[in-house]
Amino acid sequence: MEEIKRIGIVAKKNKPEAIDTIRGLIPFLTDKGIETILDGETAGLTGESSSLDIEDVPKSSDLIIVLGGDGTLLHAARLVGKSEIPILGVNLGSLGFLTEIALEELNKTIEKVLAGDFKIEERMMLKAKIVTADGKKSEYSVLNDVVINKGVLARIINLEVMVNGAYLTTYNADGLIVSTPTGSTGYSLSAGGPVVHPTLSAIIINPICPHTLTNRPILVPEESKIEIRLLSGDGNVYVTLDGQVGVDFPEGKSIVVSKSKRKVLLIEPPDRDYYDVLRTKLRWGGVR
């Protein structure tokens, strides 16, 4: 990794704690010869000046610090896009599997990062190609999951699933989650899916409340091409991407999910491992 000279900040703007943290972080970074990159809205909230749009912050940065929760980091991952700039997630929320660093650890962690005392963990992303009602194709990259679920008035939905052209099954369910290993501790976990180590090479297919009790979550190889077609749905059905972007999923149309060429680079402190995170966040016993 090249020398870090400019650090961009992506923050949850409606959280006063995030804005206060930025105000204290700017002089801390300046003293170390680091330029802080902010978008115009965040700069205005902190008394700084900037004319950058939020989409342009990663283009001007060597590293991104995320202040917020996992949702803020998912947003930052989309902003980073193809540039694959490392991300350091700082947790200002209540859970946070992606934003692992506690606020009180921030300055110490930054000093370690600037000294090169850190490791980078690569996380796979998924690519979702959706055919809309008017026949147009849209493509999205997600870090956590692609979720197909029913609208408020919808009942059961029928989803035909093909994997690499081979018929898997037709799910009669409330919906379906296609998740990365990173997303296994998100919505998929709440729907009864397995916890999968984030560096494993696999994709999780997990039905939501299936009406056939033997329909269980299944892991398929990361190179799999998963095609999902909506056979019928009593009411509106939606595709939600990383819990942040939602699009209509018309009856008879398909969505294809596969591994993305993009990946997310997360900075991991050297004194912490994934199992520490599981024990802490999921409140597992056996803490030593």
pLDDT at position 98 is: 79
pLDDT of residue 184: 96
Both tokens of 111, joined, read 């000093």
Query: 8-44 burial string, b = 16+ CB within 10 Å, else e?
Result: bbbbbbebeebbebbeebbeebeeeebebbbbeebbe
Task: Enumerate the CATH 2.60.200.30 domain ranges in the chain, comma separated.
Answer: 125-261
The pLDDT value recorded for residue 3 is 85
Active site residues: 70
Quickly count: other Cβ atoms within 10 Å of residue 220's Cβ: 16
Find, among 2, 135, 80, 96, the residue nearest to 260 by Cα: 80
CB-CB neighbours of 203 under 10 Å: 27
pLDDT digits (tens, 9 = 90+) for 153-187: 667 899 999 999 999 999 999 999 999 999 999 99
pLDDT at residue number 286 = 60
Longest dimension (CA), the chain: 61
- By the 8 A CB rule, do 69 and 38 touch? no
In this structure, the chain runs to a length of 288
The helix/strand/coil state of 38 is coil
Q: What is the pLDDT of residue 2?
A: 73
- Tracing tokens 């090169």 back to the chain, one arrives at 116
Partners of 284 in the β-ladder: none
Write down the pLDDT at residue 44.
Answer: 94
Task: Give the right CATH number for 125-261 from 2.60.200.30, 1.10.443.10, 3.40.50.20, 3.40.50.300.
Answer: 2.60.200.30
What pLDDT sits at residue 82?
79
| Token pair listed for 133 | 């009602």
Q: What is the pLDDT of residues 69-97, one digit of tens each?
A: 888 999 999 999 878 899 999 988 666 77
pLDDT of residue 288: 56
pLDDT of residue 52: 94
Between the two ends of the chain, the Cα-to-Cα distance in Å is: 34
What residues does CATH 3.40.50.10330 cover in the chain?
6-118+269-281
From first to last of the 288 residues of the chain, give the pLDDT tens digit.
678 999 999 999 988 999 999 999 999 999 999 999 999 999 999 999 999 999 999 999 999 999 998 889 999 999 998 788 999 999 886 667 777 788 888 999 999 999 988 889 999 999 999 977 677 788 999 999 999 998 766 678 999 999 999 999 999 999 999 999 999 999 999 999 999 999 999 999 999 999 998 999 999 999 999 999 999 866 689 999 999 899 888 888 899 999 999 999 999 876 777 887 788 778 787 655
Please give the CATH superfamily to which domain 6-118+269-281 belongs: Probable inorganic polyphosphate/atp-NAD kinase; domain 1 (3.40.50.10330)
